[in-house]
Amino acid sequence: MFGTDGAVNLGSGLVAAGGVVRDKEGNWIVGYYRFLGKCSVFDAELWGILDGLKIIQRRGHVHVTIQTDSSEVVKSILDSSSIESNSTLIRRISKQVLMEKPKLQVFDVPPGITSSFIDRDRHTDSFYA
């Protein structure tokens, strides 16, 4: 299971995308982020999903659950099952294409404050909702 998020610095308009991959009990497996510069939050969410899919595919996982807080992104991915999608990112997600991007940062151990959020999620129903 992995969750994604896109973040925007309101002052600069710069965007980053990232996520956390966890096992079925909610334990940290790996985290990741990518600095994107100027782009939409929608595209940042898509990058977060694409990067998460690439990471878990490289690690040999085939059955995953993706969590995102963007219903617009979910709808766009589900509606784009054909190759005719207007979004290159959505086509990549649908096909799970592996393309290496050097800006992607991967963390095998959760960074400081992230550990407390992971532990809280594991011990509450919010992780499984």
Specify if 98 maps to a domain. Answer: yes
Q: What is the total count of domains within the chain?
A: 1
With 80 as the cut, is the pLDDT of residue 86 above it? no
The pLDDT value recorded for residue 120 is: 76
How many angstroms separate the Cα of 23 from the Cα of each of 61, 64, 121? 11, 9, 12
Percent of the chain with pLDDT over 90: 1
Specify if 77 maps to a domain. Answer: yes
User: Domain of 100: which CATH number?
Assistant: 3.30.420.10
Confidence of residue 32 (pLDDT cuts 50, 70, 90): very high
**Position of tokens 């079925």?**
24
With 70 as the cut, is the pLDDT of residue 72 above it? yes
Specify if 48 maps to a domain. Answer: yes
* 8 A C-beta contact, residue 15 and residue 39: yes
With 70 as the cut, is the pLDDT of residue 7 above it? no
Indicate whether this model's pTM tops 0.85.
no
Specify if 123 maps to a domain. Answer: no
Specify if 120 maps to a domain. Answer: no
Mean pLDDT value of segment 84-92: 67
With 70 as the cut, is the pLDDT of residue 1 above it? no
Specify if 125 maps to a domain. Answer: no
Percent of the chain with pLDDT over 70: 74
Tokens of residue 33, six digits: 């982020």
Closest Cα partner for 74 from 45, 51, 100?
45
How many angstroms separate the Cα of 71 from the Cα of each of 42, 54, 59, 121, 126? 10, 21, 27, 21, 18
Closest Cα partner for 49 from 94, 4, 107, 6?
4
Domain that holds residue 73: 2-109
